[in-house]
Amino acid sequence: MSDLFKLSIVVPCYNEEEVLHETTKELTAIVQELISKNKITATSKIVFVDDGSKDKTWPLIDEFSKKYEVVSGVKLSRNFGHQGALLAGVTSASKDSDAVITIDADLQDDVNAIPKMVDEYLKGAEVVYGVRNNRDTDTAFKRNTAELFYKFMGFLGVHLVPDSADYRLMSQRACKVLLSYRERNLFLRGIVPMIGFKTAKVYYARKERFAGESKYPLRKMIKFAVDGITSFSIVPIKLIMGLGFFIVFVSLLLLIYSFVQKINGNVVNGWSSLMISIWALGGVQLISISVIGEYVGKIFSEVKQRPRFTIEKDIYTEKTEEENKR
């Protein structure tokens, strides 16, 4: 049996016209090298997923896919977000690829880790994580918030692979398992470790974004973090319960204290304590309700079973079908 296997590299792109040339160049070089080393089939593909970009991203993908055999693309009907775009790409690519690698379009993830991932796959790993061995190129803010986030997730009992993002290789089997998780609120970093099978890690240095700016403004980062937490853990609900008991306990102590004061005939000047408790409790209640609201919102969006992405055009599948006919 030949150990040639078909590899697809899925690249989510949102307004990435500035980086596409370079990304295509570097990824193509890697794919060609792997083909010439007889590791992957000549039908292996790069799958750019256009996540509803407003710039020339799709026309460029379309152009490259005509120019280069290895380039293909999937166009989503609108912006579904990074995770949705990844899933769309994995869905198309895993139909007939033996392994799928996901990588960001901005070349922050070192493409030279790809051959290493392939080697791990050939050694039998079904999920290979790309793990950064430095985060120097991220801003201090991003670094600290990310670290805090991983710590907090760990505290909540959700075990993520530290310093690994959405740069990884998955075997076809692992992709199928991933796709069988039907949740709408996608947090792939949390789901992938749940797939199981044999895993491996490949270390790389994370670089600066090649061009353009981050498509993850603070607003999206916060949404991502909240999604991650509430999709995987009900510890926040339990914390509220604990907080509630604690506050009831404290107010009981206060009650006893003021009762004792009253018996001793001290004049109780109740205004400040009253105001403080009203405000403190009001705040606690609001926070609690908002946490519960997060979960109710999750249930709301899960029960609707809405599509997680909508493909407008799938050059990848068109190309593969064409190749299969030959």
Footprint on this chain of Mg ion (rule: CB under 5 A): 104, 106, 108
Q: How far is the CB of 47 from Mg ion (least distance, A)?
A: 18
Q: How far is the CB of 45 from ligand UDP (least distance, A)?
A: 17
How far apart are the C-alpha atoms of 169 and 192, rounded to whole Å?
A: 11
Nearer to ligand UDP, 86 or 125 (CB): 86
Under DSSP, is residue 105 helix (H, G, I), strand (E, B) or coil? coil
Among ligand UDP, Mg ion, none, residue 156 binds (CB under 5-8 Å by kind): none
Nearer to Mg ion, 12 or 73 (CB): 12
Considering only CA atoms, which of 310, 105, 114 is closest in space to residue 216? Answer: 105
Nearer to Mg ion, 75 or 82 (CB): 82
| Site residues for ligand UDP per CB under 6 A | 12-14, 16, 51, 79, 81-82, 85, 104-106, 108, 209, 214-216
Considering only CA atoms, which of 136, 195, 217, 131 is closest in space to residue 166? Answer: 131
DSSP 211: S
Going edge to edge, which strands form the sheet with 164-171?
A: 199-204, 127-132, 164-171, 99-102, 7-13, 45-50, 71-76, 311-314
User: Which residues touch 43 (CB under 8 Å, ≥6 apart)?
Assistant: 6, 320, 323
Q: How far is the CB of 224 from ligand UDP (least distance, A)?
A: 9
How far apart are the C-alpha atoms of 143 and 134, rounded to whole Å?
A: 10
Sequence-ordered alpha helix ranges (H) in the chain: 17-36, 57-67, 82-93, 113-122, 140-155, 172-179, 188-195, 218-232, 235-263, 271-303, 315-325
Q: How far is the CB of 111 from Mg ion (least distance, A)?
A: 14
Nearer to ligand UDP, 17 or 98 (CB): 17
Among ligand UDP, Mg ion, none, residue 89 binds (CB under 5-8 Å by kind): none
Under DSSP, is residue 9 helix (H, G, I), strand (E, B) or coil? strand
Nearer to ligand UDP, 86 or 158 (CB): 86
How far apart are the C-alpha atoms of 187 and 229, rounded to whole Å?
A: 9
Among ligand UDP, Mg ion, none, residue 83 binds (CB under 5-8 Å by kind): none
How far apart are the C-alpha atoms of 48 and 7, rounded to whole Å?
A: 14
Q: How far is the CB of 86 from ligand UDP (least distance, A)?
A: 8
Q: How far is the CB of 144 from ligand UDP (least distance, A)?
A: 14
Among ligand UDP, Mg ion, none, residue 130 binds (CB under 5-8 Å by kind): none
Among Mg ion, ligand UDP, none, residue 39 binds (CB under 5-8 Å by kind): none
Nearer to ligand UDP, 212 or 236 (CB): 212
Among Mg ion, ligand UDP, none, residue 73 binds (CB under 5-8 Å by kind): none
